Structure 1
Amino acid sequence: MSNLGPGRGTGQENPPDGGAPRPAGWLRDAEGPPYPPPPWRLVGDLYASIWLVPRATVPLLAADAIPATIAGRALVVTGWALYAPSGVLAYREALCGVVLRAPRVPAIAITHIWVDHPASIAGGRALWSIPKKAGRFSGTPETGAEVTDAQGQPIAALHILPGRTLPWRQGFSLRTVQRSLDAGGGAPVIARLRATGRLGLARADWRFDAAGPLGFLHGLRPWLSARLERSVLRFGIG
């Protein structure tokens, strides 16, 4: 995706796993890397945009997951997160999901997600059937950020222009509803999360590779964008 341009901002490389000892109580499946037990407490800055897209372009969902719609168009969310070492894991994340029709607590099905920490990949898949894959990240959303897949193929770029931020902290609850990643399928896997932080509107310039996994968003503009600064997120709560 040549129109994304070179990575800007911090220029940090992906943090290596390093083979460091893991805290007691971490879990491990088969030969994969260990990962923290739930719930995960994550700390950092979150950026999100909501899109209105034709229902026919929505990625495949679980059979009983019904997208929420406005004027016949489905609500799709793209997100970017930078999680700090003060949480259980420090890593970067880019995702896409579909907002679901839910009677009480808002729900989302995450259809695409890339992170740069092996423990996040292993834990997200094993605990909540979130289809995490390895990604390579550069820059920051407020200076210009990019993500590619593990082979270096471009996926998305994001540049955020922050707006006014509320002076108090806001709290949000959400559920993820995922298709089971087990070979035999099974019932959807549901996880609850709670996030608090300083909410602000933003103007987001997203760019997607037309031939990439998020190509169905190529050329579109988000309906609404926001950021959650200094957020504390608890994922997988009871």
Structure 2
Amino acid sequence: MPYPQAPWTLHGYAIQTLHLVNIDQVRPLIPLELEIISVWPGKTLASVYLSNYGSGSVLEYSELIVVPALVNYQRKIGAWISHIYVDNADSVAGGREIWGLPKELAEFTWEQGKYVNVHQENRKLCSLKYNQQSLAWRQRLSVSSFSAKDADLLIFPAEFESVLGLIGSKLEIPAESSFSGMGLGQPWLTVRCEQMSLQVDAPKVVGQSILDFRF
């Protein structure tokens, strides 16, 4: 299946929620080689990221990324992605074969400035209601994420530039969702990203993982 080689450059908009979750609850989702970073006693930082990449992107698609924890490996800090869904088969293939990400197909319904729903066949994964941002500022960031492919533990950087705004939101994760057991609850912070440009670079091998449990 054809897909572009890394780096991938993507343009569009996104909403990201941040949550405090119990480390013990999300530990089974994360390779033992990765140390979970505690941001509060017994708690780590989790996230749900919903995006739509449109004109000017290497591929056009919507995406749902679930991050159960902020992690550390040999003084490298990043996010561990446990669940990731898109509505483009080429993105699924590229995500799995380039980055070792467990991408699956899902259906996305967007009502700009109001809500997004994500389904996989007859199963609802999540829905997020949100409002328009008022105060906003332009921001550039560099972030890293970990993944695993075969026996290799990988890390890959992403360069991000966007107009950011803090917004209100309500996240619903039904019991049948594949990530309902993470205990995400309602976000303590939600950020809306407009005029977003994202470059995701090729991964580098940083170690070996004794578990290749996600495919």
Fold equivalence (TM over 0.5): yes
Query: In structure 2, what is the equivalent of residue 65 of structure 1?
Result: 34
Query: In structure 1, what is the equivalent of residue 8 of structure 2?
Result: 40
Instruction: Indicate the structure (1 or 2) with the bigger Cα radius of gyration.
Output: 1
5+ residue gaps in structure 2? 204-215
Higher strand share: 2
Whether the 8 Å CA contact 2:124–2:176 is kept in 1: the answer is: no
Query: In structure 2, what is the equivalent of residue 135 of structure 1?
Result: 106
1:199 equivalent to 2:164? Answer: yes
Structure 1 residue 137: Cα displacement? 1.0
Matches within 5 A, 1:158-177: 158-167=128-137, 169-177=138-146
Whether the 8 Å CA contact 1:50–1:223 is kept in 2: the answer is: yes
1:119 equivalent to 2:84? Answer: no
Structure 1 residue 116: Cα displacement? 0.2
5+ residue gaps in structure 1? 1-32
User: Following the alignment from structure 1 to structure 2, what is the Cα–Cα distance between the partners of residues 104 and 160?
Assistant: 35
Q: Percent identity?
A: 25
What TM-score do the two structures reach when normalised by structure 1?
0.78
Whether the 8 Å CA contact 1:208–1:217 is kept in 2: the answer is: no
Report the CA distance shift for 1:66/1:164 in structure 2 as closer, same or farther (over 3 A). farther
Report the CA distance shift for 1:140/1:113 in structure 2 as closer, same or farther (over 3 A). farther
Query: In structure 2, what is the equivalent of residue 76 of structure 1?
Result: 46
RMSD of aligned alpha carbons: 2.0
Letter of the 1:50 counterpart: L
Report the CA distance shift for 1:165/1:45 in structure 2 as closer, same or farther (over 3 A). farther
Letter of the 1:40 counterpart: W
Letter of the 2:8 counterpart: W
User: Following the alignment from structure 2 to structure 1, what is the Cα–Cα distance between the partners of residues 75 and 14?
Assistant: 23
Structure 1 residue 224: Cα displacement? 1.2
Question: Residue 168 of structure 2 aligns to a residue in which SS?
Answer: strand
Query: In structure 2, what is the equivalent of residue 220 of structure 1?
Result: 185
User: Following the alignment from structure 1 to structure 2, what is the Cα–Cα distance between the partners of residues 106 and 171?
Assistant: 18
Matched positions, count: 200
User: Following the alignment from structure 2 to structure 1, what is the Cα–Cα distance between the partners of residues 74 and 131?
Assistant: 33
Letter of the 1:147 counterpart: V
Report the CA distance shift for 1:219/1:192 in structure 2 as closer, same or farther (over 3 A). closer
Structure 1 residue 118: Cα displacement? 0.7
Structure 1 residue 71: Cα displacement? 2.3
1:229 equivalent to 2:199? Answer: no
Structure 1 residue 53: Cα displacement? 1.1
